[in-house]
């Protein structure tokens, strides 16, 4: 006869085994070893779109390009992207969002960015019920949600060297939250980098150089988190100029993103 203690023990065992199976499934999926999932490759046209809007792709090695393409399609398959009202070019937006995520996490193991579960896209500037303000884009860590204005999102890709890219900016926030305070070496490197950036941000001489250069847009001065996101935009769009003007900060971000 099975008593209450036995039922509890069996239930706990099933729960633990279920969790272990999920971890194994997720790990296999993460490293493209899952035999139950077929990866749908990017089309030639999609690859051309990525090459046009994300020029970094052409400089990748053959091996890195293959990994990047796999991560783009896997991110696209795994994330819920919701389009509101009459958003045009939905497939293009989905592709560019997935490619941006894959680009920023290309040297990280967790490219799926578990701190993002849903992505909402509105046609233009929208009113956020969470902040009670109008936004072009935002990241809500408590809801694991990214929100974008399609108009501003696409504009960020049209001009490749103006250091304004909404997708890169908001994904930088999400990645920062995703990596922070985890018990692994990558998290340590990332958080160590954030501490170094924080020290620079509080240094009057550094801020004076930032103000004199006009290289970083004004919004980056809001706080350390916005400064990091704006810096990553510069890192992606004008890396050579960034390296020349602010070599120390460039080196820190380079190590953070590996």
pLDDT digits (tens, 9 = 90+) for 145-192: 999 999 999 999 999 899 999 999 999 999 999 987 677 888 889 999
Q: Which pLDDT score is estimated for 15?
A: 62
- For residue 237, pLDDT beyond 60: yes
The answer to whether 211 touches 246, Cβ cutoff 8 Å, is no
What pLDDT sits at residue 220? 95
Q: Select from 173, 192, 182 the least CA-distant residue to 258.
A: 192
Q: What is the pLDDT of residue 227?
A: 98
Start-end of H helices in the chain: 4-30, 44-53, 62-78, 90-104, 150-158, 166-179, 185-201, 204-213, 224-237, 239-245, 247-257
Calculate mean pLDDT across residues 18-39. Answer: 54
C-alpha closest to that of 72 among 122, 113, 34, 118: 113
Q: Strand, helix or coil at 148?
A: strand
pLDDT at 26 over 90: no
CA dist list (Å): 81 to 14, 67, 134, 234, 247: 33, 22, 20, 26, 37
Q: How confident is the model at residue 71 (pLDDT cuts 50, 70, 90)?
A: very high
Q: Is the dihedral of CA 25, 81, 237, 136 positive or negative?
A: negative
Is pLDDT at 24 greater than 50 in this prediction?
A: yes
**Cα distance between residue 64 and residue 107, in whole Å:** 9
Q: Tokens 């139950």 — which residue? A: 36
Q: Tell me: pLDDT of 198 over 90.
A: yes
Q: 120, 82 in Cβ contact below 8 A?
A: yes
pLDDT at residue number 168: 98
Instruction: Give per-residue pLDDT as tens, 89-112.
Output: 999 999 999 999 999 999 888 899
Q: Please report the pLDDT score of residue 61 as a whole number.
A: 96
Q: Which of 157, 167, 173 is nearest to 54 (CA)?
A: 157
Lowest mean pLDDT, pick from 10-19, 33-42, 154-163? 10-19
End-to-end CA distance of the chain: 58
pLDDT of the residue at 110: 84
- Choose from 10-19, 105-114, 125-134, 142-151 the range with maximum mean pLDDT: 142-151
Is 84 a residue whose pLDDT tops 60? Answer: yes
Q: Is the pLDDT of residue 22 over 70?
A: no
Q: Is the pLDDT of residue 137 over 50?
A: yes
- In this predicted structure, the answer to whether residue 33 has a pLDDT above a threshold of 50 is no
Percent of the chain with pLDDT over 70: 85
Instruction: Enter the pTM of the model.
Output: 0.84
Task: Identify the burial level of 214 via C-beta atoms within 10 angstroms of its C-beta, where 0-12 means exposed, 13-18 middle and 19 or more buried.
Answer: exposed
């Amino acid at each position: 006869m099975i008593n209450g203690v036995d039922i509890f023990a069996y239930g706990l065992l099933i729960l633990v085994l279920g969790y272990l199976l999920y971890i194994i499934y997720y790990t296999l999926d993460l490293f493209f070893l899952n035999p139950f999932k077929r990866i749908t490759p990017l089309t030639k046209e999609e690859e051309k779109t990525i090459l046009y809007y994300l020029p970094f792709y052409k400089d990748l090695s053959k091996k890195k390009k293959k990994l990047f393409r796999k991560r783009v399609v896997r991110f696209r398959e795994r994330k819920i992207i919701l389009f509101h009202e009459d958003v045009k070019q939905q497939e293009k937006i989905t592709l560019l969002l997935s490619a941006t995520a894959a680009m920023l996490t290309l040297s990280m193991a967790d490219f799926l960015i578990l701190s993002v579960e849903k992505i909402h896209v509105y046609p233009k500037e929208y009113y956020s019920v969470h902040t009670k303000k109008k936004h072009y884009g935002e990241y809500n860590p408590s809801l694991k949600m990214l929100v974008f204005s399609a108009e501003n999102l696409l504009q960020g890709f049209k001009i490749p060297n103006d250091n304004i890219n909404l997708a890169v900016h908001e994904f930088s926030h999400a990645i920062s939250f995703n990596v922070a305070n985890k018990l692994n070496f990558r998290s340590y490197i990332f958080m160590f980098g954030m501490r170094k950036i924080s020290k620079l941000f509080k240094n009057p001489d550094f801020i004076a150089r930032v103000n004199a250069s006009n290289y970083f847009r004004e919004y980056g001065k809001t706080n350390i988190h916005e400064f990091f996101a704006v810096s990553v935009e510069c890192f992606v769009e004008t890396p050579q100029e960034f390296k020349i003007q602010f070599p120390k900060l460039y080196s820190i971000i380079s190590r953070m993103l590996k």
